[in-house]
Chain A
Amino acid sequence: MNETGYLKILKDGVWTQNTGFVALLGLCPLLAVSNSVVNGLGLGLATLLVLLISNVAVSLIRNLVRPEVRIPVFVLVIACVVTAVELAMHAFLPGLYTVLGIFIPLIVTNCCVIGRAEAFAFKHKVAKSAVDGIATGLGFMLALTLLGAVREVVGQGTLFSQADLLFGELGKGLTLHLADNYRGFLLAILPPGAFIGLGCLIALKNIIDSRIQHRATAQPATVLIEAKS
């Protein structure tokens, strides 16, 4: 099995080392913005963009930077990228911009952005860094969207409400109402629901992982038994 290279980076970023579920980085936006799918998707996209650009940028400049100013330079680069993205969102997705509020500039301190810059982009070539940025971003977006979906469904019984914020007029039709006169379980939308929801998703991931592992190890185990008998 050859898992090195791009595929592994992708798998790590999206699943094995998922920032939201495993590394527990970037928790603030993850929890704060995931009260609906659309919010989650929006911030996820923005973060993905920032991650991609900043990873590429850091990878490009990695030979120019001295260790003592490494962090400030990264921070500076990321801050510039974020500001540009922020301005763009303000211009083209004003509704979403208002909803996400302070969490757009806070992408700067999203631990996973600087974390990837430090841990990956700084040590790898541009192409790999780009893939890593995309993978990490996708992973983060996955976490955001999943959590957003769970919270939205449980909390208000809808999916893709306010999709127009992201997709414009087109999005208005996207909203799904899952049950008529669903009373809504406010807890899911309120802060405690974010924590508990993420906790449950992580537990779910653990269960899936252990199933996978179980299946993987099940085979050799039977071989052993056969060998014995």
Chain B
Amino acid sequence: MRFKIVTSPHISQDVSVGQIMRRVLYAMIPGIAALTGFFGWGILINLVIATVVALLAETVMLTVRGRPLALHLSDFSAVVTAWLLAVALPPLAPWWLTALGIFSAIVVAKHLYGGLGYNPFNPAMAGYVVLLISFPREMSTWLIPHGLDQPHALSFLDALRAIFSSEWPARFTLDALTGATPLDALRTQIGLGLTVTEIRNSPIFGIVAGQGWEWAALGFLAGGLWLVYTRTADWRIPAGMLGGLAIIATIFYLADPQHYAPPWFHVWSGAAIFGAFFIATDPVTASTTSRGRLIYGAGIGILVYIIRGFGGYPDGVAFSVLLMNIAAPAIDLYTQPRVFGARRG
């Protein structure tokens, strides 16, 4: 009788990378739904464009490199990257912008390093930043959420046309549809010398943060908590990031409440929640030790605040994540756990 020679352990848990990635996709659904509700079809169209381009780019790279296609396409990591990037793009971003971002993410940031598991930088955020610095105008034309002074929704076809041929429906002017995002508004108006209270009286602000935005954040929070619950994402990273952001925001807020927005505003604004649960938690590019993950998260939180408050960009999640990606290997090196039986201290 011939037996198969395989090394131990001979049994294993029934999880796979594909499953983990799919969980991330499921977890994004509530947030995406909220975003679509407030910003219209553009979000979904972007999502589709991004997914198609990502799968295409992944296929090409895998083929060029002679890797098994089916195996790696079914790990869904490219789709996760695509969705994460698409969600962060303005709803009516021209199609080429999305495509270029995905290309940078999948080809440059991921496959030049060997594909899944080897990339030191978060592909989605690398793609995002490439776009942000190359096309700042396109990247900062966000739509005004529904339910404000804009009862009219762009129809699906309008959105398609806007995305693919950059033609806006004649009914609206560009200026009527777009406007500064809450963080941008806060940033520029503080620069003009207004106080936080004055600024937040503007209709674009809602209960805690931006009108509309805050519901999207809630959706992402729900999905994110589920990710943490299923252990798909390590709780330490979101905890570290939101904690770090809240603490530093509190310090400044207490020092001068008129000049600095309150911590809850910061935590709930922009991409903080989304970033904490979905982006910073990318296991490949984050720190992998337990203590390291706390530090990594806190680092992101603090950098986000610094960039938002003192830097040149309204939100800093993407930059902060990339910056901490740089530090992650060093953090890992210095935060190794005490091995069983090693002397304490």
List A residues at the B interface (Cβ < 8 Å). 183, 185-187, 190, 192, 196
Tell me whether chain A's interface is mostly helix, strand or loop, or mixed: helix
Q: Do A196 and B133 touch across chains, with their CB atoms under 8 A apart?
A: no
Q: Does B135 make an interface contact (CB < 8 A)? A: yes
Q: Do A186 and B108 touch across chains, with their CB atoms under 8 A apart?
A: no
Q: Does B134 make an interface contact (CB < 8 A)? A: yes
Q: Do B108 and A187 touch across chains, with their CB atoms under 8 A apart?
A: no
Report the bound CA distance from A186 to B133 in whole Å: 7
Closest Cβ of chain B to A191, distance in Å, is: 10
Report the bound CA distance from A134 to B339 in whole Å: 58
**Chain B residues whose C-beta falls within 8 Å of the C-beta of A186 in the assembled complex:** 133-135
Interface centre among A183, A185, A190, A196 (most CB of B within 10 A): A183
| 12 A-B residue pairs with CB within 8 Å | A185-B100, A185-B134, A186-B133, A186-B134, A186-B135, A187-B130, A187-B133, A187-B134, A190-B133, A190-B134, A192-B133, A196-B108
Report the bound CA distance from A183 to B133 in whole Å: 13
Closest Cβ of chain B to A185, distance in Å, is: 5
Which chain B residues numbered 110 to 160 have a C-beta less than 8 Å away from chain A? 130, 133-135
Report the bound CA distance from A192 to B130 in whole Å: 9
**Least CB separation from B108: chain A residue:** A196
**Least CB separation from A203: chain B residue:** B112
Our count of residue pairs bridging A and B at CB distance below 8 angstroms stands at 13
Closest Cβ of chain B to A194, distance in Å, is: 13
**Least CB separation from B97: chain A residue:** A183
**Chain B residues whose C-beta falls within 8 Å of the C-beta of A183 in the assembled complex:** 135
**Least CB separation from A183: chain B residue:** B135
Report the bound CA distance from A190 to B133 in whole Å: 9
Report the bound CA distance from A187 to B127 in whole Å: 11
Report the bound CA distance from A192 to B121 in whole Å: 14
**Chain B residues whose C-beta falls within 8 Å of the C-beta of A192 in the assembled complex:** 133
Report the bound CA distance from A190 to B130 in whole Å: 10
**Chain B residues whose C-beta falls within 8 Å of the C-beta of A185 in the assembled complex:** 100, 134
**Chain A residues whose C-beta falls within 8 Å of the C-beta of B130 in the assembled complex:** 187
**Least CB separation from A185: chain B residue:** B134
7 tightest Cβ-Cβ pairs between the two chains A and B: A186-B134, A187-B134, A187-B130, A185-B134, A190-B133, A186-B133, A187-B133
List 7 additional contacts besides A187-B130, A187-B133, A190-B134; criterion CB under 8 Å: A185-B100, A185-B134, A186-B135, A187-B134, A190-B133, A192-B133, A196-B108
Report the bound CA distance from A66 to B277 in whole Å: 64
**Chain B residues whose C-beta falls within 8 Å of the C-beta of A187 in the assembled complex:** 130, 133-134
Report the bound CA distance from A187 to B130 in whole Å: 7
**Chain B residues whose C-beta falls within 8 Å of the C-beta of A196 in the assembled complex:** 108
Closest Cβ of chain B to A86, distance in Å, is: 33
Closest Cβ of chain A to B206, distance in Å, is: 34
Report the bound CA distance from A186 to B129 in whole Å: 12
Closest Cβ of chain B to A195, distance in Å, is: 11
Report the bound CA distance from A183 to B135 in whole Å: 9
Report the bound CA distance from A190 to B134 in whole Å: 9
Which chain B residues numbered 182 to 222 have a C-beta less than 8 Å away from chain A? none
Report the bound CA distance from A183 to B108 in whole Å: 21
Report the bound CA distance from A44 to B130 in whole Å: 29
**Chain A residues whose C-beta falls within 8 Å of the C-beta of B100 in the assembled complex:** 185
Interface centre among B100, B130, B134 (most CB of A within 10 A): B134
Closest Cβ of chain A to B100, distance in Å, is: 8
Report the bound CA distance from A187 to B134 in whole Å: 5
**Chain B residues whose C-beta falls within 8 Å of the C-beta of A190 in the assembled complex:** 133-134
Closest Cβ of chain B to A154, distance in Å, is: 10
Interface centre among B100, B108, B133 (most CB of A within 10 A): B133
Report the bound CA distance from A71 to B141 in whole Å: 56
Report the bound CA distance from A185 to B133 in whole Å: 9
**Least CB separation from B131: chain A residue:** A187
Closest Cβ of chain A to B11, distance in Å, is: 43
**Chain A residues whose C-beta falls within 8 Å of the C-beta of B134 in the assembled complex:** 185-187, 190
**Least CB separation from B94: chain A residue:** A183
Closest Cβ of chain A to B332, distance in Å, is: 24
Closest Cβ of chain A to B251, distance in Å, is: 32
Report the bound CA distance from A183 to B139 in whole Å: 14
Report the bound CA distance from A183 to B96 in whole Å: 11
Closest Cβ of chain A to B317, distance in Å, is: 18
Report the bound CA distance from A185 to B136 in whole Å: 11
**Chain A residues whose C-beta falls within 8 Å of the C-beta of B133 in the assembled complex:** 186-187, 190, 192
**Least CB separation from A186: chain B residue:** B134
Report the bound CA distance from A190 to B135 in whole Å: 12
Report the bound CA distance from A186 to B135 in whole Å: 7
**Chain A residues whose C-beta falls within 8 Å of the C-beta of B108 in the assembled complex:** 196
